C-alpha cells in the first residue's frame, strides 16, 4: 500500500522544486539544510490529494477506504473538485481500448538527477502515448504544462518503467487545477524530452548535487527558503534603485518597461526581507536602528450575547443586520464613551498586538519576548 501523502519523503532535487533548482543550481543544497515548514495551504492540498486518489481508484474498481472522515480539511468545494478530477481521468481513459492506469505512482528519474524521485498523481499508458496528469489544489497562480520541468521529470520516471514494454513516441502532460478552472495540456515527442534530459537536465542536476554553479534570481525564487537573505536576489531587485529619484518622464521607454517588469518582484522581495528580519529579531538578533514592539490591535467583544442583552436593557437596538454593531457604532448609539464603558466595559477586551519591527525612534516600548511569553501562559 502506498504511503499516506503526508508521510512521504521528498528528494533534495525534487520534481516539484525543479523550476527553482534548474534555474539556480546552488539553491538546492542551501534549501536542503533548512527544515520544511508545512502551511495550512499545504495541509489542505494533502487532504485534497488523499480524496482524489480514493476517487480515481474507485473509478478503476480498486478497493480503498474512503478517507473523508479522517481528513483535517474537507468541504463541498473539495468534494466537487475531486469529482471533476476523477471525471477528467475517466474521459482520458475512455479514448483508449486497453490503457494501463497507475495512481500515486512512485517515479524514479535518478538516471538523470542524483537520487531523483517523485510521485505521479496519475500515469496512463496506451498505444504509443504516455500521459502524465498532475492534480493541483492551489488557487494562487495558474500553472502551465508547456515545458513544465516537474511534469517532464515525472515523464522521464514513467518512461523508465514502461519504455522496455511499450514503444512510446509521445508524451502528454496535463496540469489539472480545478479551483481556478485551469486544465493545461501539452504534448511533446519523446525525442525532445530525451534531448532536454541529456543536454540540459543532467548537467544542471550534477551542479545542483555539488552545490555548484551560479546563483540566479527570477520568478523561481518564489518558494525558495533562503530568498529573504539571498544576495543575488537583492542585487536583482535593487537594480532599479538607481531610478528612485528620476521623474518618470525622464526615463526611457525601455527603462520604464524594466521597472514595470520587476515592480511586483521588488515588492515581494521587500516583504520577504521584513518577515525574515522580524523572525530573526524575535530570536534575539539585533538590527542597527530597529527594535521590536507590540503591534496595534483593536478592541473586540468577549461575549456578544451579553453585550446585546445589556444594550437592549438600556432601551437600544444593538443590531445592524445581520450582526451586532461594532464598538465604534455602539459607542455612538449609547451616546458616548462614558455610557459605553458603564454598560459594556466588562464585555470588551483589547488583544495583544502582534510583534512588529520598527525604527528605534518609535515611541512604543520595546517588545520583551520573555515578558510576553509569560503573559500568554
d(CA 314, CA 220): 60
DSSP alpha helix (H) spans, 120-252: 149-162, 190-196, 202-210, 231-238
Name the DSSP letter for residue 241.
Answer: G
Instruction: Give a three-class secondary structure readout of 165-182.
Output: CCCCCEEEEEEEEHHHCE
d(CA 273, CA 25): 22
Global model pTM greater than 0.95 = no
Res 105: pLDDT: 95
Number of residues written out for the chain: 377
Cα atoms in the Cβ-side hemisphere of radius 13 Å centred on 63: 0
State how beta strands 300-301 and 319-320 pair. unpaired
Which uninterrupted H or E stretch holds 273? Answer: helix 253-282
Res 370: pLDDT: 44
Q: Which residues pair with 120 in a beta bridge?
A: 105
Res 247: pLDDT: 63
Largest Cα–Cα distance in the chain?
A: 84
Q: Which CATH class is domain 5-210?
A: alpha beta
Res 66: pLDDT: 93
- Of 115, 287, 286, 294, whose CA–CA distance to 209 is shortest? 115
- Of 17, 1, 29, whose CA–CA distance to 207 is shortest? 29
Cα angle 112, 191, 21 (rounded to 5 degrees) comes to 35
d(CA 292, CA 276): 13
d(CA 340, CA 169): 76
Ordered by start, the domain boundaries in the chain are 5-210, 227-283, 286-297+352-377, 307-347
What is each CA distance from 213 to 16, 207, 351, 364, in whole angstroms? 20, 6, 49, 46
d(CA 267, CA 222): 12
In b/e form, how buried is each residue of 326-350, taking b as 16+ CB within 10 angstroms?
ebeebbebbeeeeebeebbeebbee
Spans of the chain below 70 pLDDT: 1-10, 240-249, 321, 369-377
Cα atoms in the Cβ-side hemisphere of radius 13 Å centred on 150: 21
Contact 243, 259 (CB under 8 A): yes
Contact 362, 293 (CB under 8 A): yes
Which uninterrupted H or E stretch holds 101? Answer: strand 100-108
- Of 125, 126, 144, whose CA–CA distance to 134 is shortest? 144
The grid cell for 110 is 535518478
Amino acid at each position: 500500500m502506498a504511503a499516506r501523502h503526508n508521510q512521504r519523503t521528498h528528494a533534495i532535487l525534487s520534481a516539484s522544486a525543479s523550476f527553482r533548482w534548474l534555474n539556480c543550481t546552488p539553491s538546492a543544497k542551501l534549501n536542503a539544510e533548512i527544515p520544511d515548514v508545512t502551511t495550512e495551504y499545504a495541509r489542505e492540498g494533502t487532504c485534497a490529494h488523499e480524496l482524489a486518489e480514493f476517487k480515481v481508484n474507485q473509478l478503476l474498481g480498486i478497493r480503498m477506504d474512503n478517507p473523508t472522515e479522517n481528513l483535517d480539511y474537507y468541504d463541498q468545494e473539495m468534494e466537487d473538485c475531486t469529482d471533476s478530477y476523477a471525471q477528467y481521468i475517466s474521459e482520458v481513459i475512455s479514448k483508449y481500448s486497453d490503457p494501463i492506469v497507475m495512481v500515486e505512482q512512485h517515479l524514479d528519474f535518478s538516471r538523470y538527477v542524483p537520487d531523483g524521485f517523485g510521485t505521479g498523481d496519475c500515469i496512463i499508458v496506451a498505444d504509443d502515448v504516455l500521459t502524465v496528469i498532475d492534480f493541483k489544489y492551489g488557487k494562487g497562480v495558474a500553472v502551465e504544462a508547456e515545458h513544465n520541468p516537474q511534469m517532464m521529470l515525472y515523464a522521464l520516471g514513467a518512461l523508465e518503467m514502461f519504455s522496455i514494454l511499450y514503444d512510446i513516441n509521445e508524451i502528454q502532460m496535463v496540469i489539472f487545477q480545478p479551483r481556478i478552472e485551469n486544465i493545461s495540456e501539452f504534448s511533446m515527442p519523446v525525442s525532445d524530452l530525451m534531448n532536454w534530459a541529456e543536454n540540459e537536465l543532467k548537467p544542471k542536476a550534477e551542479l545542483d548535487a555539488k552545490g555548484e554553479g551560479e546563483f540566479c534570481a527570477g520568478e523561481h525564487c518564489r518558494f525558495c527558503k533562503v530568498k529573504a537573505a539571498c544576495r543575488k536576489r537583492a542585487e536583482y531587485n535593487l537594480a532599479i534603485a538607481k531610478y528612485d529619484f528620476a521623474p518618470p518622464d525622464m526615463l526611457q521607454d525601455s527603462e520604464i518597461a524594466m521597472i514595470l517588469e520587476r515592480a511586483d518582484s521588488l515588492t515581494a522581495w521587500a516583504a520577504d526581507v521584513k518577515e525574515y528580519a522580524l523572525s530573526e529579531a524575535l530570536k534575539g538578533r539585533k538590527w542597527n536602528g530597529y527594535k521590536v514592539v507590540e503591534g496595534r490591535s483593536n478592541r473586540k467583544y468577549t461575549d456578544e450575547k451579553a453585550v446585546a442583552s445589556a444594550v437592549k436593557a438600556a432601551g437600544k437596538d444593538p443590531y445592524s443586520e445581520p450582526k451586532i454593531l461594532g464598538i465604534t457604532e455602539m459607542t455612538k448609539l449609547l451616546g458616548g464613551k462614558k455610557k459605553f464603558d458603564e454598560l459594556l466595559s466588562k464585555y470588551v477586551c483589547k488583544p495583544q498586538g502582534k510583534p512588529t519591527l520598527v525604527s528605534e525612534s518609535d515611541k512604543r516600548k520595546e517588545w520583551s519576548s520573555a515578558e510576553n511569553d509569560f503573559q500568554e501562559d
